[in-house]
Amino acid sequence: MVGQEHVLQALINALDHDRLHHAYLFTGTRGVGKTTVARILAKCLNCEVGVSSEPCGTCSSCLEIAEGRSVDLIEVDAASRTKVEDTRELLENVQYAPTRCRYKVYLIDEVHMLSTSSFNALLKTLEEPPPHVVFLLATTDPQKLPATVLSRCLQFNLKNMSPELIVGHLKTVLEQEMVSFEEPALWLLARAAEGSMRDALSLTDQAVAFGNGKLTETEVRNMLGTVDLSFVYSILEAVAAQDAAAALAAVEAMSEHAPDYAGTLDELASLLHRVAVAQAVPDAVDNSLGDAEQVRQYAGQLTAEDVQLYYQFAVTGKRDLGLAPDPRSGMEMVLLRMVAFRPAAVLDDSIAAEDLEERGPEVAAAAKKPKPAAPEPAAPEPAAPEPAVTSPQSAAPPPASEPVAAIREQLARSGQPQPTKSVEPRAPAPEPAVDQPATPEPAAPEPPASERAAAGERLPLEPARWPDLLDRLGLVGLVYNVASHCELRQVDGDRAWFILDESNASLYNEAHGQRIAAALGKYFEREFRVEIEPGSPRYETPAQRAHRLLEERRAKALESIESDPGVKLLLDRFEGSIDRDSVTPTKH
């Protein structure tokens, strides 16, 4: 019952407080103890000392159950008795009292194999059995049981066992059997068992026979066909050094031992997982394989980004291994992919465009050093017309790294200004100048921007001032859309005559004209009459002017981006291009 404390606690409380149920269902994968816990429960119910969670184990009833010869513990293999006739024959004796024990216990293993007719025959007895009968059902697939059966049972789901629990139990068993062992060998067996204690014990028996009475890591690896970790270490070191030749040589040396390449990728992914844990939480590294110090060394040599990338390649490479021409070539392609797709540079928010640094193998270790709390001030450029103002405490900047120096040298040769740093806070980059409205045709000149910006001024109702006046009328929705496509052609007293662009004439109805007249009357505090006719405007409508100004700002924004030295440098180094359609100017 190792690792099944959640089931034990419920059964102990039920037995000690006499809260027994007539049917129990134990579920879980193979080898987790379903049948075992059912037999132990049968002992607890029929122990001659009394019903309790601790049977004596020495009375005749306990001994008979342990030896499998109790007449009142009826074990049924449902896989071999699926017919309804078998179930009816089994239930014919339910009404009779137990021969020697307190309860007659029916233990039905793999109950999901029963047919639908068998479940129907069992259902009524399972719901209301005689008081001296207890049903214990075990299955690996509870989804196949009818809901009517599930609702009549107390269900306990037994968990898969972790490698730690399996190793601990194997240590106890081997110490009692006085078998010498190496702890890494137990971890190999625990992982190969995949959560099943029964499989772990079976593999241990096989390994003891294979090793002539002892368990060693080397012999267990040979028995299981797992690869020696020394090859995995060599592969990781070669990939980290970007040495494809060394990685392929390690695979060639490993191939002489007929390895399991899928298992090799599993071992590589497991090692990378431990390296990632060592980088995030150094104290959490386990020493189950005796290589904790080596794992910490890898954690110091590799960047966190590289570890995550290699882990992803190892996991997905195992999935694609079956599609390769042969397992070895699939393994080699995974390693070559790790070398080929390692990024040459890593960009984040803390790195400015002028501080781009290559992340090649020769500077990978230097990249892991913590950055200083504040950047050191840079000396003023000698070519600047005025020296940069720095504080008295400013010091000389540290020498630039080779990649940064090469970038600056390239900028100098191209005649572009080199980026500098100052101890003073960096001023925000100058934004493109606010676009002034283009000079309209002489017949409808626009007023200066300063005059239009006067918030308290009431604009006159004139054709030239209509675009600015429209934004002050408070129109919204479809009415504003109609008015923005109108040109104010003429004003005569309280009468305003508009020409609506023919391409938008379908949007107009008389109610729109009335709402525009009401907005004008509210603004000028007198009544207005508005007449709107479809036609061809002579001058720009407010909508046309807004579109023109937007395109002009977009063009200037593109020009500013394309002429920026930092952007040019990024495009040259990474062979990039600007997505012109994605450029959106800021609002002014």
Q: Check residue 391 and give its pLDDT.
A: 39
Q: How many domains does the chain have?
A: 5
Domain CATH number, residue 182: 1.10.8.60
- Transcribe 271-296 into DSSP letters: HHHHHHHHHH-GGG---TTS-HHHHH
**pLDDT greater at residue 190 or residue 284:** 190
Q: Contact at 8 Å (CB) between 536 and 503?
A: no
Q: Does residue 323 carry a pLDDT above 70?
A: yes
CATH of the domain at 316: 1.20.272.10
Q: Is residue 376 part of a domain?
A: no
**Least trusted range by pLDDT, from 105-114, 468-477, 547-556, 578-587:** 578-587
Return the CATH number at 490: 3.30.300.150
Measured CA to CA, the distance from residue 217 to residue 221 in angstroms comes to 6
CA 184 → CA 163, 190, 306, 350, distances in Å?
A: 12, 10, 27, 43
> What pLDDT, on the 0 to 100 scale, is given for residue 25?
92
Q: Mean pLDDT over all residues of the chain?
A: 79
Measured distance CA(508)–CA(519) in Å, rounded = 17
Residue 450 has pLDDT above 70, yes or no: no
238 shares a domain with 303: yes
Report how far residue 554's alpha carbon sits from residue 546's, in angstroms, rounded to the nearest whole number. 12
Tell me what pLDDT residue 212 has.
85
**Which residue range forms the structural domain that includes residue 115?**
5-157
Q: How far, in Å, CA of 246 to CA of 254, rounded? A: 12
* In-domain check, residue 201: yes
> Would residue 382 count as lying in a domain?
no
* Same domain, residue pair 46 and 176: no
User: Each residue of 118-152: pLDDT tens digit?
Assistant: 888 888 888 888 889 999 999 988 888 888 888 88
**488 and 556 part of one domain:** no
Angle at 499 between CA 498 and CA 500, to 5 degrees: 115
At residue 97, the 3 state secondary structure works out as coil
Q: Is 170 inside any structural domain?
A: yes
The number of C-alpha atoms within 13 Å of 120 and in the hemisphere containing its C-beta is: 6
Check whether residue 116 and residue 217 sit in a common domain.
no
SS3 category, 390? coil
Instruction: Enter the tokens of residue 91.
Output: 């239930």
Residue 292 lies in a domain: yes
* pLDDT band, residue 245 (cuts 50/70/90): very high
Measure the CA–CA gap between 43 and 63, rounded to whole angstroms.
9
- Does the residue 123 lie in any domain? yes
Say if residue 9 is in the same domain as residue 153: yes
Helix (H, G, I), strand (E, B) or coil at 77: strand
pLDDT of residue 366: 44
Task: Find where tokens 């029929």 sit.
Answer: 46
Same domain, 133 and 181: no
Give this prediction's pTM: 0.49
pLDDT the model gives residue 479 = 85
Phi-psi region of 475 (alpha: psi -120 to 50; beta: other; left: phi over 0): beta
- pLDDT reported for residue 346: 57
Q: Work out whether strand 495-501 and strand 486-492 pair parallel, antiparallel, or are unpaired.
A: antiparallel
List helix spans (H) across 454-501.
Answer: 466-470, 477-484
- How far apart are alpha carbons 205 and 202 in whole angstroms? 5
pLDDT at 385: 43
Residue 106, SS3 per DSSP: strand
Q: What percentage of the chain has pLDDT greater than the value 90?
A: 14
Say if residues 513 and 530 touch (Cβ distance below 8 Å).
Answer: yes
Q: Are residues 150 and 167 in the same domain?
A: no
On whether both 127 and 217 belong to a single domain, the answer is no
Bridge partners (DSSP) of residue 24 are 136, 154
The span from the CA of 128 to the CA of 135, in Å, is 11
Lowest mean pLDDT among 122-126, 227-231, 322-326, 365-369: 365-369
- Band (475; pLDDT cuts 50, 70, 90): confident
The answer to whether 356 and 345 are in contact (CB under 8 A) is: yes
Q: What is the DSSP string of 432-457?
A: PPPPPPPP--TTSPPPPHHHHT-TT-
Residue 413: pLDDT over 90: no
In this prediction, residue 87 carries a pLDDT of 84
Task: Decide which of 325, 340, 355 is a domain's last residue.
Answer: 340
How far apart are the C-alpha atoms of 264 and 258, rounded to whole Å? 11
Q: What is the pLDDT of residues 71-83, one digit of tens each?
A: 889 888 888 877 8
| Same domain flag for 183 and 206 | yes
Mean pLDDT of 434-454: 44
Integer Cα distance of 200 and 194 in angstroms = 8
Chosen domain end from 157, 183, 207: 157
Distance, CA of 65 to CA of 71 (rounded, Å): 9
Query: Do 235 and 248 lie in a common domain?
Result: yes
| Residue 486 · residue 534 · CB < 8 Å | no
Q: What is the pLDDT of residues 16-71, one digit of tens each?
A: 888 888 899 999 888 888 888 999 999 999 998 888 888 888 899 999 998 888 88
Domain boundary among 202, 224, 246: 224
Answer whether residue 458 is part of any domain: no
Per-residue model confidence (pLDDT) at position 26: 92
- Percent of the chain clearing pLDDT 70 (strictly above): 80
Residue 310: which pLDDT band, with cuts at 50, 70 and 90? Answer: very high
Query: C-alpha angle 441/447/448, rounded to 5°?
Result: 115
Q: Is residue 353 part of a domain?
A: no
The confidence score (pLDDT) of residue 443 equals 43
Residues 33 and 110 in one domain: yes
Q: What is the DSSP string of 493-544?
A: TTEEEEEEEGGGGGG--HHHHHHHHHHHHHHHTS--EEEEEEE--SS--HHH
Residue 228 has pLDDT above 60, yes or no: yes
Predicted confidence (pLDDT) at residue 92 exceeds the cutoff of 80: yes
Tell me what pLDDT residue 123 has: 85
Res 433 pLDDT > 50: no
The CATH number of the domain where 149 resides is what?
3.40.50.300
Q: Is 138 helix (H, G, I), strand (E, B) or coil?
A: strand
The residue that leads in pLDDT, 472 or 311, is 311
CA distance 242 to 225: 28
86 and 17, same domain (yes or no)? yes
